[in-house]
Amino acid sequence: MEKGSVGQRIAEMRRAKGITQRELAKSTNGRIGQTQLANYEQGTREPGLDEIEALAAALRTTPGFLAGFTRLPVPLSDTELRLIQTLRRLPENERNDFFNKISSIGALYREPIPDSRLNIPKPPKKHTVKQ
């Protein structure tokens, strides 16, 4: 599990989005009140699974991130998953070259490139033959 409490992660995500506790509580559609949220952020109470799911939806992140099971605040895109799958299919000795090439391209940009601009072709669909 990753370092940091659930409350710390909630507070960090809320601040990063520039919203108040009141606004976040309201965006959970009444499932969590502002006082309850303040208690989570201060560490005096721990949210249950239902509350983590409501907060994750409101913060547009994953319950796993808030609970500390993953370091990724958002799930990987299809393009990112395809890159990882491609990397894993390569022989060990070619993985470093692949990584270095991708890193060099990434270093040219200050901000992530939207998937729609990457123009990476999707892998062909596998056809099954019915017998």
- At 77-117, the pLDDT tens digits run 788 888 888 888 989 888 888 888 888 887 777 666 565 65
Joined together, the tokens standing for residue 46 give 């721990």
What pLDDT was estimated at residue 100? 85
Reading phi first (left if > 0) and then psi (alpha if -120 to 50, else beta), residue 33 is in: beta
Query: Does one domain contain both 87 and 52?
Result: no
Please write the tens of the pLDDT for every residue from 3-22. 568 999 999 999 988 999 99
- Nearest-CA neighbor of 72 among 60, 83, 61? 61
Number of domains in the chain: 2
- The residue among 48, 67, 86 that closes a domain is 67
Q: Same domain for 61 and 104?
A: no
Do 82 and 55 sit in the same domain of this protein? no
List of residues 6+ apart from 56 with CB closer than 8 A: 62, 63, 65, 66
Same domain for 60 and 88: no
The first and second tokens of residue 110, run together, are 């200050």
CA 94, CA 92: separation in Å to the nearest integer?
5
Domain presence at residue 35: yes
Residue-wise pLDDT for 38-80, tens only, equals 999 999 999 999 999 999 999 988 899 999 888 877 777 788 8
